[in-house]
Structure 1
């Protein structure tokens, strides 16, 4: 009998030792995985690769702007001088004089700064209808909206890299066609394809860039991109003022740099964040090896990712009431061994034992495990996602965010271009006004980026929409005071430019990677459809345009308050447990080992 009891006690001790060891092994597995941010830091952080890649993406984003934002100057009519019968001249408008009466002779005043060698000559727009000329810009947005249905979704299914590559390749080819075209109808068709490719260049490219950038630098790089895009119009105006009145040179430069970017893209790795979201961990490590090579990092890239470790523990059905989170596992299906391990860990750390009285009453388990419990909540959430369109409504938080972001994108895009069309009411020199209005965007991008980093998406969006709303209201109130109209237009433009920057920054972060591109696409479809209306609305008599502007901005202001950035528990964890994981890891291990020595 005594031998039987000894054998049974030996078996219990052996089981307890096995359980203790399993606890430590599970704990080691849990803390061994690296987040993508930690992986970036391990291979050099934000350094040589990101300097090159960020520059590539920023200029890739800008190439389309070099052409599209030049449209107002490409379509700008020169200063016409009509001849009187006595040979003297007077300034005249084409549609009211020689286009109606071909007997009237005229010439172009090339000494005037606003007279440019542009599409008016190349495409013979002199007597063309304003509706057909306006179609050049409108068809661009149509192409963009159509592409938003397909390209972002393809980037979610097949990856960012090659969707971006082919978008930039065809973007360059269409760009070249637009430079060579001397036919208005052909140019209109090409502009539709240009808009289609621009969606991949801008939206997919932006998403790709942000996923390759460490979180700490994402807002900075995103803001630099917006600033560069905003300064494009300034560069174009300065080119026509001081370099040449001929439009081809500047556009050839833009097209050439487009193709330089195309040949550079194959050297970029696929987005590690995208690959991790697809559970393609080996491919993600291969991408990080490319980044490590550029960063001159000589160490091995053989670590595991935190999501990978959580998935392994989940798949092995380990009860992580003390490690990952029992909520991930199916309730009621925990193994007996799991319960024993939990019971052992709790009792060994929280109980008073001979020689280990210092452990009594200390609940270190919670401090140690809370970060992983919250991480487990996100893992559980993302494990429900498979990249299908149903994912957008499966989780209530994402569905709400998507609906709100659609409205915010509509408000930002529609209002931005509507305000641009209102610039024609500003009196003075055309180029000076253009440069001044464009420079207004720079502080808007900088300030919105800083506040987004410090205060979060809700407060910044509400503040920026309020600024644009105030500008719109003042434009309604003082619509007859031509002296203050420019000030209020610039105020409204400041606000909508800031919201545009936040739209890009937020869209790349608040949605899970597995369908971030799809969310980008859905928002862009509705945004560009609304933007198509803005040039037509701008031609409606006052106060209709600015009334609609104020209504749209007001609705967006209210909806911005309801954006949900992350589960509340995770936000609490980020505030309370940031930087404490390593300390708690040592505490838990010491206390478990202390119990082992004291038993």
Structure 2
């Protein structure tokens, strides 16, 4: 609770992302943030004058005309990755010709949902969010029922949390979200399937902690990658809203996690195997 209070108070002093401010034509606030960044880096604040910020907004706005002229360009990839012809921000800007006007207001949520690529990304990310959160909390509760030594299993699981989150952060810079979500889901799927097929509750063997660690690594890596990659899959003006939508959906399904975890073995493992396979399919 103390850390939650500290984080809440600190959020009031944390500056807004300059990228969002520029795209939403909040010139004065964007200049203030740029100046803070320049001062922190001991750089010349003259490079971030109000005129320069207006120029950045003009450049962003000019993408609209270019996108409209090339409206027959190759269609963007659908789902979780780099688009072929344009970024998700440009997809939105393509249909907002009045963006450069001073009276511009942020588009509504329905405006974004009418964009096919954005809608598909949102559906896929919602499925991945739900499965990652559900699997994470099922693991937390079900670990005490996993065959084998409880102390060894819980030690492996907690150690995996730290290592997987750290490595996933490093790996995320090298690969696309689509490939990462697929491979992490397949890792958990394979580990759960092997545990289901090769581990007996009456006579567990030494491989149980390995399967526990691999399954946990896939789930934790997916969670870490979600937070790192999610904002880049949506336009700046819709990134936070989309994360709220997917997170809310995940929280609803997490309610069922403790009930699933209390079902006798091996039913929870069967359910985890199925949902991780579904997560891998959603990332394709």
**Same fold by TM-score, threshold 0.5 exceeded?**
yes
The answer as to whether partners of 1:328 and 1:380 remain within 8 angstroms in 2 is no
- 227, 235, 244: which one aligns with 1:512: 235
The answer as to whether partners of 1:269 and 1:291 remain within 8 angstroms in 2 is no
Aligned partner of 2:82 in structure 1 is none
1:453: Cα distance to partner?
Answer: 1.6
Superposed CA deviations along residues 92-114 of structure 1, whole A, max 9, x for unmatched, are: xxxxxxxxxxxxxxxxxxxxxxx
- Mapping 1:184-333, distance limit 5 Å: 255=2, 257-300=3-46, 301-302=48-49, 303-304=52-53, 308-310=57-59, 325=66, 327-328=68-69
State whether structure 2 residue 274 is matched by structure 1 residue 551. Answer: yes
Superposed CA deviations along residues 212-249 of structure 1, whole A, max 9, x for unmatched, are: xxxxxxxxxxxxxxxxxxxxxxxxxxxxxxxxxxxxxx
1:392: Cα distance to partner?
Answer: 3.3
State whether structure 2 residue 106 is matched by structure 1 residue 384. Answer: no
The answer as to whether partners of 1:415 and 1:496 remain within 8 angstroms in 2 is yes
- Residues 308 and 551 (structure 1 numbering): CA distance in 2 closer, same or farther, change over 3 Å? same
Superposed CA deviations along residues 375-394 of structure 1, whole A, max 9, x for unmatched, are: 79954632536431213322
- Residues 454 and 306 (structure 1 numbering): CA distance in 2 closer, same or farther, change over 3 Å? farther
Tell me how far apart the structure 2 counterparts of residues 259 and 525 of structure 1 sit (CA, whole Å).
21
Aligned partner of 2:204 in structure 1 is 482
- The aligned length equals 256
- Residues 279 and 263 (structure 1 numbering): CA distance in 2 closer, same or farther, change over 3 Å? same
Superposed CA deviations along residues 375-429 of structure 1, whole A, max 9, x for unmatched, are: 7995463253643121332211100000000111111111111122221136547
Aligned partner of 1:524 in structure 2 is 247
Superposed CA deviations along residues 464-487 of structure 1, whole A, max 9, x for unmatched, are: 111100111012113414223332
Aligned partner of 1:402 in structure 2 is 122
Name stretches of at least 5 consecutive residues in structure 2 with no aligned partner. Answer: 73-84, 97-105
TM-score for both structures, normalised by structure 2: 0.78
Q: Does 1 or 2 have the higher relative contact order (CA < 8 Å, sep 6+)? A: 2
Tell me how far apart the structure 1 counterparts of residues 244 and 123 of structure 2 sit (CA, whole Å).
13
State whether structure 2 residue 236 is matched by structure 1 residue 495. Answer: no
State whether structure 2 residue 191 is matched by structure 1 residue 450. Answer: no
- Residues 498 and 397 (structure 1 numbering): CA distance in 2 closer, same or farther, change over 3 Å? same
The answer as to whether partners of 2:92 and 2:112 remain within 8 angstroms in 1 is no
RMSD of aligned Cα (Å): 2.9
1:433: Cα distance to partner?
Answer: 4.8
The answer as to whether partners of 2:161 and 2:220 remain within 8 angstroms in 1 is yes
